[in-house]
Structure 1
Amino acid sequence: MSTTSTTASSPHPSRTGAPRSRGPALAVLSVAMLMTILDGSIVTVAMPAIQRDLGFSPAGLSWTVNAYLIAFGGLLLLAGRLGDLIGRKTMFLAGNAVFTAASLLAGTADGPGTLIAARFGQGVGSAMSSAVVLGILVTLFAEAGERAKAIGVFSFTGAAGASIGQVLGGVLTDAFSWNWIFFINLPIGLAVIALAVRALPDDRGAGLAAGADVIGALLVTGGLMLGIYTVVQIERYGWLAAHTLGLGAASAVLLAAFFVRQAMAGTPLMPLRILRSRNVAGANLVQMLTLSAMFAFQIIVALYMQKVLGYGALDTGLAMLPAAVAIGGVSLFVSARLNTRFGERNVLLAGLLLLLGAMGWLTRVPVDADYVTDLLPVMLLIAGGGLVLPALTSLGMSGAREDDAGLASGLFNTTQQIGMATGVAVLSTLAASRTDGLLSAGTDEATALTGGYHLAFGTAAALLVAALTVTLVVLRRPEPPAVPAVPADQQS
């Protein structure tokens, strides 16, 4: 891949250190991402206890998730570019410090306002650190085979964090209190900071003068935050409400103004050259479609288990554990070899087909499902995610120069958050609308809920078909790294 080799086009090359230092660096990056993803899923299990203890209204309770999501998704692109400018290691350390401090505030919160503010702070810290993680990773592992293995390990921690969070959230809340879902971040965050100081390579960054576009930063941050806020509120206001249409239009105007600004600015925040790569643009689009569809598995399957089958929170987490093992095992032990042998595009296609099979299976789950025959096959088919995520990561970073690696990382993480937020809005609204219609027609509650979930799973399948189409039409196998020419007087 031509993205990370230090060439003449990279005036401020990163110092990646000796090869022996890369193992601890990969471990630090993976643990930091594990903590971020763990925090995203662990809160959902504890929300009833948080509502009871802090006196949240039902509408207010959703802001324990929305505040984090808006800050995280809205700041990723800015944080990624700033990482390129001031140094990715500096941004990573600062982000983990902010996240850890906000976790302490969240754990000691005594009212809704404090907790929402703390969750916003966690989102800010997560954006700062997550935005540069992939940029650091691809500069550390420049060789294709090594990078594929590193991305496999990195993807494994993501799959593990999502499922561990659901199980751990139930255990900590039941055994202690909801406060401990935030306190658990303190030792992890402090350890990550201490180890990262030594394990991560120093990098100078290009300097703020190379891209300190304040107007562009305000436009993109405001546009993304407003857009994500609009999306997560669709379930409350509806698609055609004045609130949704007005704020959605305002977000679109801000983002359009941002792109105009980037085309004209002398030192743009996001050089538009990054979008000229069909792999970068295509992989980000495929990721949005795929993660929108995967919401149907991550959340709606859990709702189906609890509201229709009567599972408890801990039982639901354990029931979904085979999926985490399958995704993690494939991403850790299989994906790198397959990517190297067959190419990321072909592996991505295979993974998307497996996910499509899982969603198709879910469209037929009955009201009285048996776990082994009706749900366990889905948990195994979802292993396709272990093929999709590493392949998409490689493709999404493959067209960026080394001095744009942080920006490409931030862009990739931004589309990830947009995809998840869109999945929340679209699939939840469709499922709720279908359920309400069935209830109005006299259908019993369990059957009506199942009918709503079937529509969500069918829509997710359609999104995966769209992702397959984009993969076939747009994506190409990345070119091997360019080898700089050796001057004649240095040839032996």
Structure 2
Amino acid sequence: MYENVDERARPGLTLAVVAVVQFMVSLDLSVVNVGLPRIAAALGFSAVGLTWVIHAYALTFGGLLLLGGMTADRFGRKRVLLFGLGVFALASLAGGFTQVPGHLVAARAAQGVGAAALAPAALALLTATFPGGRARVRAFGVWAAMNAAGGALGVLAGGLLTEHAGWQWVMFVSVPMAAVALALAWYGVAADPPATRRGRPDVLGAVLATAGMTLLVFGIVRTDHHGWVSPVTLTTLATAAALLAAFLRHERSSREPLIRLGLFTNRAVAGANAVNLLLGAAMAASFYFVSLYLQRVLGYGPAQTGVQFLPFALGVIVGSVLAVKLGYRVAPRTLMAGGGLLTAVGFAWFSLISADGTFVTDVLGPEIVSSIGFGLCLGPVVSTATAGVAPHESGTASGLLNSTRQIGAAVGLAALGTAAQQRTGQTATPEALNDGYAFGMTLGAVLLAGAVLVALTVLPRTPAAAPEQHDRDLVG
């Protein structure tokens, strides 16, 4: 049943654990979106400060993923997965009890720390368990479906929970899922031996990367108060660039780098991560814009808004299933390019929204088109980014992939959100808000067109073989 599967692994249970983990992590990225207006009213967030409920999670998640991936490679994937699940559950529980804005942002940041440990460990387990063949295509198809379904259903869950149980439950909802994943991983996943090469984790690299990305997003977000060419913005962005440059220099000279920069000479790794970065930027902003458009312009409640994201979840699942069926015959880069193009068309359609529109006329059609395209992209992106990578670097490659997605989400939401706010101006009428959201979706379509271009020009025509598979082919 599972050809090309690591016989030491328990493929069914491993896939179940990874599916639950990915659903939970993706859900947590979007579950708070619909609840943002209620959270702002309850805790007293400012308009700009409210975005940090999202940024705090995305930044710690994205900034620490490389450290989490390397730690999983060195100290055992199951061990790091269990640690991450525990931190994630406790942070989710604490977040639901917060009473002031700063505490909620801190809880979201702690969730990101836990996710940065568990996400690359889970994906590395999947990569090791399904190294190739049809089983790998199916496994990554399941991963893609759960990843996208978690993001879309998170909006539905967030709406229903916010309206009928209180905004606190957008935090509490992750606790039982983390407990289920913890139990499945504890009893169902075989312990893997840590790498023989043990070294000190690159904490300095993680600090430099996280600090640099945090300042980058902070500088972009604050452009609504300080212009792009103001001394404050220029100083903030210059400091961010200096920290990121210091990170790259440190990685070149470190004996135990957070990520081996030579990994980027693999075209599959470099191209797939570039596509992933642009996809993450566009999709994170789209969830934000569409949920606010439905509530602030069309006047729907949180629960209705959540229900109206169901077609997106179903469309992504359809796209993921199509990617599995086509993945046996079509090159991954072709699926990525086709899916990215379809998603860009959906975003361009979204940019035609109007202040006096309706869900059926303005949202449903582009929602279906963009979701199917997104589903076509996800599995091939992940499978390509981890193909041809040595086993001892699988956690690092998985962390890099998750990192580019989260960094893309954080920077994309900051940049596109700020651009939309500037287009809206100071008059928050439905017409002005609509104009800002439409402009943001247009910029998202441009990012997706860039992802298509990268897929066609950077990615290899055929996926790379894993090193051990390549050796077997030579012997055979």
With normalisation by structure 1, the TM-score equals: 0.88
| 1:64-75 correspondence runs (5 A) | 64-75=53-64
The one of 351, 364, 367 equivalent to 1:363 is 351
| Pair 430,114 (structure 1): closer, same or farther in 2 beyond 3 Å | closer
Q: Which residue pairs with 1:109 in the alignment?
A: 98
Larger radius of gyration: 1
Q: Which residue pairs with 2:77 in the alignment?
A: 88
| Pair 487,419 (structure 1): closer, same or farther in 2 beyond 3 Å | closer
| 1:260-299 correspondence runs (5 A) | 260-299=249-288
- More displaced 10-residue stretch of structure 1: 265-274 or 233-242: 233-242
- Which ranges of 4 or more aligned residues in structure 1 deviate by more than 6 Å? none
Letter in 2 for 1:375: V
In the alignment, structure 1 residue 302 sits paired with structure 2 residue 287:
no
The one of 443, 446, 464 equivalent to 1:462 is 446
In the alignment, structure 1 residue 479 sits paired with structure 2 residue 464:
yes
| Pair 176,397 (structure 1): closer, same or farther in 2 beyond 3 Å | same
The one of 385, 395, 413 equivalent to 2:384 is 395
In the alignment, structure 1 residue 31 sits paired with structure 2 residue 24:
no
Q: Is the 1:344–1:391 Cα contact (8 Å) retained in structure 2?
A: yes
Q: Is the 1:220–1:255 Cα contact (8 Å) retained in structure 2?
A: yes
Residues 383-441 of structure 1, C-alpha deviations (whole Å, 9 max, x = no match): 1000011111112112421111111111111111121112212222222222229x6xx
Q: Is the 1:73–1:228 Cα contact (8 Å) retained in structure 2?
A: no
d(CA) in 1 for partners of 2:48, 2:341: 37
- More displaced 10-residue stretch of structure 1: 356-365 or 132-141: 356-365
| Pair 459,58 (structure 1): closer, same or farther in 2 beyond 3 Å | closer
Letter in 2 for 1:184: V
- More displaced 10-residue stretch of structure 1: 61-70 or 357-366: 61-70
d(CA) in 2 for partners of 1:80, 1:174: 37
| 1:82-481 correspondence runs (5 A) | 82-206=71-195, 209-210=198-199, 212-331=201-320, 333-382=321-370, 383-436=372-425, 445-476=429-460, 477-481=462-466
d(CA) in 1 for partners of 2:346, 2:34: 24
Residues 137-169 of structure 1, C-alpha deviations (whole Å, 9 max, x = no match): 111101232111111111111222122222222
- More displaced 10-residue stretch of structure 1: 272-281 or 358-367: 358-367
The two structures, once aligned, show a CA RMSD in angstroms of 2.6
Deviation at 1:38, TM superposition (A): 1.7
Q: Is the 1:296–1:456 Cα contact (8 Å) retained in structure 2?
A: yes
Q: Gapped runs of 5+ residues in structure 2? A: none
d(CA) in 2 for partners of 1:326, 1:487: 41
Deviation at 1:67, TM superposition (A): 2.3
- More displaced 10-residue stretch of structure 1: 24-33 or 365-374: 365-374
Deviation at 1:322, TM superposition (A): 0.6
Deviation at 1:233, TM superposition (A): 4.0
Deviation at 1:60, TM superposition (A): 4.2
d(CA) in 1 for partners of 2:40, 2:26: 22
| Pair 47,358 (structure 1): closer, same or farther in 2 beyond 3 Å | closer
Q: Is the 2:271–2:458 Cα contact (8 Å) retained in structure 1?
A: yes
- More displaced 10-residue stretch of structure 1: 88-97 or 203-212: 203-212
Q: Is the 1:78–1:221 Cα contact (8 Å) retained in structure 2?
A: no
Letter in 1 for 2:331: G
Letter in 2 for 1:403: H
Q: Which residue pairs with 1:11 in the alignment?
A: none
| Pair 146,396 (structure 1): closer, same or farther in 2 beyond 3 Å | same
Residues 368-397 of structure 1, C-alpha deviations (whole Å, 9 max, x = no match): 324334322212211100001111111211
Deviation at 1:182, TM superposition (A): 2.3
| Pair 271,302 (structure 1): closer, same or farther in 2 beyond 3 Å | same
Q: Is the 1:17–1:201 Cα contact (8 Å) retained in structure 2?
A: no
- More displaced 10-residue stretch of structure 1: 428-437 or 378-387: 428-437
| Pair 89,242 (structure 1): closer, same or farther in 2 beyond 3 Å | farther
d(CA) in 2 for partners of 1:151, 1:467: 20
Deviation at 1:282, TM superposition (A): 1.1
d(CA) in 1 for partners of 2:213, 2:316: 30
With normalisation by structure 2, the TM-score equals: 0.91
SS for the counterpart of 1:45 is: coil
Provide the aligned length of Structure 1 versus Structure 2: 469
d(CA) in 1 for partners of 2:448, 2:474: 49
Deviation at 1:232, TM superposition (A): 4.3
| Pair 250,137 (structure 1): closer, same or farther in 2 beyond 3 Å | same
d(CA) in 2 for partners of 1:380, 1:306: 19
| Pair 252,106 (structure 1): closer, same or farther in 2 beyond 3 Å | same
d(CA) in 2 for partners of 1:184, 1:321: 18
Letter in 2 for 1:377: G
d(CA) in 2 for partners of 1:60, 1:377: 32
| Pair 416,62 (structure 1): closer, same or farther in 2 beyond 3 Å | same
